[in-house]
Amino acid sequence: MTQTRQLFGTDGIRGVAGEFPLTRDSVYLIGRALGHDLARTNARARVVIGQDTRESSGWIADRLWQGLATVGVEVRSAGVITTPGVAYLASSQKFDAGVVISASHNPWTDNGIKVFSGDGYKLPDAHELAIEKEIFTLLKDADALPGADSTPVIASLPGEAELRQAYVRWLAGSVATDLSRLRVAVDCANGAAAAEAPELFRALKIETAFLHCAPDGQNINESCGALHPETVARFVSENQGKFDLGVTFDGDADRALFSDAAGRVVNGDAVLLLAAREMQARGTLANATVVATTMSNMGLELALKRSGIRMLRANVGDKYVLEEMQRAGATLGGEQSGHILFRDGEATTGDGLLTALRVMEIMVHSGKTLIELVGDLKVLPQVIRNVRVREKTPFAQIPAVQTAIRDAERELDGVGRVVVRYSGTETLARVMIEAESKEQMERLAESIVAAIRSALGA
């Protein structure tokens, strides 16, 4: 039977900063466990570490560094940098691993630890489980923690500017098109993108207005960024005629969402569609296949089919999209939330900055506006409802929930979809319904939500 990971979710270890598993002691032991794991293949392992702008990211990075250092791992810090920036550095500069301190789109009070292997890819579940076992072993060992005076004072900030600049140079060098005619509004979510986006857009001579680019440790994702794409869309709309598009990143900038020139939100499904067609025309869309997730709208599947492109669905989480891409030999995949994975180049994970550049290049090459590129994407009405739960009991073990799901599927009769799953990063159940009408969609969603809340409500 497959063992369940207790610490690692769909995007690393995540929780409230200062509470287990992100206490000073547990973070130190996570560093030691990761160091032991790396030492099995390289006694002189090297790790690059980066972080987002949360006020807790500094001490978590420092404490993790201490744990790594005690087992002989050499650590270099890139300071505040995007998650894909760390993945790129791990791969391009031959580190044995890359570690990111971030909780992505979560509130500032949360934080997390994400690990990339030396090839720039996220660790497979089995590898994360092996590290977990070592962490729990160390937690039981009273001698695993050092005395207060025996650990060196380590400061991961500001980190090495050259590491950050290497990432920006790579991104800028990936662009073979003059983007200087574009006028773009960019929402950095007061997160990691604030450290690299201004330099990148300046290097490419793009006329840019930056929003939420002044992090203070507590304002990351606050009414801005990819969690609130309507914010940049509203700014573009209020400045009608001044911008060709808006771009918005999440806290660690591994995803991006967009606004067209009229202030309409353009999500990850639409980006997959326009990217798929462009790559198909260039002959780089391997196997005429796109990998999306269970949350992508049926309208995307139909639009791709009209272009002779098949769509496969993976579980939610960009690491699972990547695994399905590798199985299918696909070069494009992603999520409705804005994680887009391009495997026709050097990228190994979703990268919001790279996605923004690719979208802008497609606009310039085609001579079309963003809305013209995806104008035929007709989405079924879709709602996603989140329910706070006290525990993640398998839905198959809750008869009332199973009944509500079966009743909804029977009523939809193939014209629409039902997806009910737990969040991989929060104690939430997510209910997604697609239906022909908004009324039907809302009614069916509420029926399932009520059943979950009755059985598991926090």
47-56, 114-123, 418-427: lowest mean pLDDT where? 418-427
Please compute the mean of the pLDDT values over residues 113-128 and round it to a whole number: 93
Q: Could you tell me if 91 and 56 are in contact, meaning their C-beta atoms sit under 8 angstroms apart?
A: no
Q: What pLDDT digit, counting tens, does each position of 395-408 carry?
A: 999 999 999 999 99
State the CB neighbour count (10 A cutoff) for residue 14. Answer: 23
- SS3 state at 17: coil
**Whether 366 is catalytic:** no
Residue 137 token pair = 């072993």
Residue 148: pLDDT band with limits 50, 70, 90: low
Three-state helix/strand/coil letters over 242-293: CCCEEEEECCCCCCEEEECCCCCEECHHHHHHHHHHHHHHHCCCHHHEEEEE
H helices of 367-437, in order, are 370-373, 399-412
Please compute the mean of the pLDDT values over residues 373-399 and round it to a whole number: 93
pLDDT at 437 over 50: yes
pLDDT of residue 14: 94
pLDDT of residue 152: 65
Q: What pLDDT digit, counting tens, does each position of 290-336 carry?
A: 999 988 998 999 899 999 999 999 998 888 999 999 999 999 999 99
pLDDT of residue 217: 98
pLDDT at 150 over 60: no
pLDDT at 452 over 50: yes
What percent of the chain is modeled with pLDDT above 90?
Answer: 87
Spatial CA neighbour of 43 closest among 84, 73, 86, 7: 73
pLDDT of residue 306: 94
pLDDT of residue 153: 73
pLDDT of residue 364: 98
Residue 143: pLDDT band with limits 50, 70, 90: confident
pLDDT at 447 over 60: yes
Please compute the mean of the pLDDT values over residues 409-429 and round it to a whole number: 90
Q: What pLDDT digit, counting tens, does each position of 1-39 carry?
A: 346 778 998 789 999 999 999 999 999 999 999 999 999
Please tell me the distance from the alpha carbon of residue 228 to that of residue 223, in angstroms, as a whole number: 6
Give the DSSP per-residue string, 18-69.
Answer: TSTTSSHHHHHHHHHHHHHHHHTT-TT-EEEEEE-S-TTHHHHHHHHHHHHH
pLDDT of residue 377: 94
pLDDT of residue 253: 98
Please compute the mean of the pLDDT values over residues 163-183 and round it to a whole number: 97
Q: Which of 56, 104, 117, 337 is catalytic?
A: 104
Please compute the mean of the pLDDT values over residues 272-279 and round it to a whole number: 98
Which residues are CB-neighbours of 264 under 8 A, at least 6 positions away? 233, 371
AA identity, residue 260: D
Q: Could you tell me if 266 and 374 are in contact, meaning their C-beta atoms sit under 8 angstroms apart?
A: yes
Higher pLDDT, 124 or 61: 61
Residue 70 burial (CB < 10 Å; 0-12/13-18/19+)?
middle
Specify the pTM.
0.88
Label the pairing between strands 46-51 and 97-101: parallel
User: What domains can you pick out in the chain, each with its CATH number?
Assistant: 8-161 (3.40.120.10), 174-379 (3.40.120.10), 382-456 (3.30.310.50)
pLDDT of residue 425: 79
How many CA atoms lie within 13 Å of 246's alpha carbon, on the beta-carbon side? 33
AA identity, residue 93: Q
pLDDT of residue 214: 98
What percent of the chain is modeled with pLDDT above 70?
Answer: 98
How many CA atoms lie within 13 Å of 430's alpha carbon, on the beta-carbon side? 14
Q: What pLDDT digit, counting tens, does each position of 220-229 carry?
A: 999 999 999 9
Please compute the mean of the pLDDT values over residues 104-118 and round it to a whole number: 96
Q: What is the mean pLDDT of the chain?
A: 94
Q: Could you tell me if 268 and 334 are in contact, meaning their C-beta atoms sit under 8 angstroms apart?
A: yes
